[in-house]
Amino acid sequence: MSKKLYVGNLSFSSTENDIRDHFSAYGEVLSVNLITDRETGRLRGFGFVEMDDAGAAAAIQNLDGKELGGRSLKVNEAQDKPRSGGGGGGKGGYGGGRW
């Protein structure tokens, strides 16, 4: 099994190789995905690292709050993004029943 980690407060000069090297000290890094701004292409200061379970736990324990590129990293298990759109609550106002 693998876990996806959220990595925040990254330096804007960080590269995928920097992140991979830093995290690989704690386990096998399966993927690195640094998030960029759609319009400018610049890094947005966060990304995701997918690792084996044991490596992910070790990386969270050892890297959360540690410095990389002059910035204090925020490392935790990524939460699934809630699905957007569709659905929604009932109808506002009058509910259609008799008063």
pLDDT, one tens digit per residue, over 12-71 is 999 999 999 999 999 999 999 999 999 999 999 999 999 999 999 999 999 999 999 999
Q: Output 83 or 56, whichever has higher pLDDT.
A: 56
Which pLDDT value is given to residue 71? 95
Does residue 93 carry a pLDDT above 60? no
**What value does the CA radius of gyration of the chain take, rounded to a whole number of Å?**
19
Of 29-33, 45-49, 81-85, 92-96, the poorest mean pLDDT is in 92-96
Which pLDDT value is given to residue 88? 54
Whether residue 85 contacts residue 53, with contact meaning beta carbons closer than 8 Å, is answered with: no
Pick the CATH number of 2-77 from 3.30.70.330, 3.40.50.10860, 3.40.50.300, 3.40.50.2300: 3.30.70.330
